[in-house]
Structure 1
Amino acid sequence: MSEKSLGETKANLNYENERRDLACAFRWTVRMGMHEAIANHFSLKVGAGGTSFLINPKKHFSRIKASDLLLLDTNSPPNLKDKDAPDTTAWGLHSSIHSNCPHARCLIHVHPIYSTVLASLADSTLQPIDQNTALFFQRYVIDEGYGGMAFEKEGERCSSLLKDPEKKVMIMGNHGVLIIGDNVADTFNRLYYFERAAETYIKALWTGKKLRVLSDAIAEKTAGQWDHYTDFSQRYFEELKAILDEEEPSYRL
């Protein structure tokens, strides 16, 4: 496999709508306080071939524009020494998952506070104690085998845990959270609700009082009811873009 120059990955600015959606997600991740320096990374599969994907360079999320996103191919690694290259761990994690998990069209990996606190507990189970926590009932996987930074071998290991298309959240033990979805709106909505669910759960634990945990039957029923809100994530994301169109239109460039 030959290395691509980063100039080549930026030369092709196709997928305008996909780029704008992904850029919007980066900007809102900052607004919601879920970013971390110039670390963390999002990607989105594009095109019909199944190997091309957009991903962010090492740039602060608040400054990312649609045209900044790199168009990479899982079969052609970029020159990771280039100043605009994606983080080495971003390539290792995202290329592996996109290669091995066809259902994972969009990936968001972040270290938000409450999700990461949950990932740091000896038991990272998210108990269903309200509607938001029930949304994720039996719809996540816990990675208990953290092996260090997510270079290619670690990326391959993580991808092996995401074979079930119903498991759209990976609680990455000792690390953070990885969210997958069909598109940017779907995936960002899932991130938003997972962090809120984790916050509710962690703060409930802080009280030291006994939790009112939903039965498995009610938790599953509630999760299934969430599934019927098929246009909810897209409508929410359109609102987020509309706000940016008024306040931060540079994301579209």
Structure 2
Amino acid sequence: MSLDTARPNMTHMQERIDLAAAFRWTARLNLHEGVANHFSMAISDDGSRFLMNPNQMHFSRIRASDLIEMDANDPDALIGTDADITAWGLHGGIHRHCPHARCAMHVHSIHATVLACLQDSRLPPIDQNCATFYNRIVIDDHYNGLAMEDEGNRCAALFSDPKHKVMVMGNHGVMVIGATVAETFNRLYYFERAAETYIRALQTGQPLRVLSDEVAEKTARMLEDYPEQDTRHLAELKAILDEEGSTYAD
């Protein structure tokens, strides 16, 4: 019996469960900020229909059944829903204009946000985690306030190159995209670790040991081809939550 068949009044249960687990673990790692951040997952072929967390609900409490279904092409989508207007602006723009971005995760995690606050927000390949993102980051230098619809559309346009999977949102935080919840969460996790390594390395005041362009690109490609790391990562996190009796899958 499929998950959708088991719960006939709710569809896309696997996506809901995976996304809920990602919310719970993001809170556990303290990558969220209060009740301000948001994730989404496309559920239609064209990507325009998507699941999103309710307005200002803490990540540590989100369940699969709490996720709201939205339509990026419906101008009245917010009416009668418990959806955050800035989440709609940012994620609606991405799912409207970037069909390759099936999943999108936006947080104000500490080290990624510190990187976003630097005059030079590039992430040099100083270790393996940093090399993962070599030439795969786009930097937004034109923050223009809260992510209402116009701001969301502007940000979405920066993801025009499918090679770019991470947006360092200058003065704001980070947006990570991917094909699945597992891929996107895995990328979010490692980007925060990479940003932390870089920020801590800067704090030493010592010269950085930067990898060559050739080795950095080689490493990035090898990691992209590394089998099943993202799916196994999320599967292990769900297994831990299940052992703890978590309600994330409800």
The alignment's TM-score, normalised by the length of structure 1, stands at 0.92
Quote the offset at 1:167 in angstroms. Answer: 0.2
Partner of 1:16: 13
Q: 1:77 to 1:20 in 2, by over 3 A?
A: farther
Amino acid at match of 2:63: K
Matched with 1:4 is none
* Separation in structure 2 between the aligned mates of residue 50 and residue 155 of structure 1, nearest angstrom: 16
The percentage of counterpart residues that share the same residue type is 59
Alpha-carbon shift at residue 247 of structure 1 (Å): 1.2
Give the alignment partner of residue 211 of structure 2, picking from 190, 196, 214.
214
Distance 1:21 1:156 in 2: 26
Q: Distance in 1 between matches of 2:245 and 2:112?
A: 27
Alignment of 1:1-253 (within 5 A): 13-58=10-55, 59-77=57-75, 80=78, 85-253=82-250
Which deviates further from its counterpart, 240-249 or 43-52? 43-52
Measure the CA separation in 2 of the matches of 1:251 and 1:78.
Answer: 29
Question: Which sections of structure 2, spanning at least 5 residues, go unmatched?
Answer: 1-7
Residue 199 of structure 1 aligns to a residue whose secondary structure is: helix
Deviation string 1:189-247 (CA, Å, 9 cap, x unpaired) is 00000000000000000000100111111111111111111311001110011001111
How far is 1:249 from its partner? 2.6
Structure 1: give runs of 5+ residues left out of the alignment.
1-10
1-structure distance, mates of 2:168, 2:224: 20
- Please, what TM-score do these two structures have when normalized by structure 2? 0.93
Distance 1:218 1:203 in 2: 22
CA RMSD in angstroms comes to 1.4
How far apart are residue 77 of structure 1 and its match?
4.3
Structure 2 CA distance for partners of 1:153 and 1:12, relative to 1, 3 Å: farther
Residue identity opposite 1:201 in structure 2: Y
Q: Distance between the aligned counterparts of 2:174 and 2:9, measured in 1?
A: 30
CA contact (8 A) 1:12 1:71 kept: no
Residues 35 and 93 (structure 1), Cα distance of their counterparts in 2 relative to 1, 3 Å cut: same
Q: Distance in 1 between matches of 2:157 and 2:178?
A: 17
Count of matched residue positions in the alignment of Structure 1 and Structure 2? 242
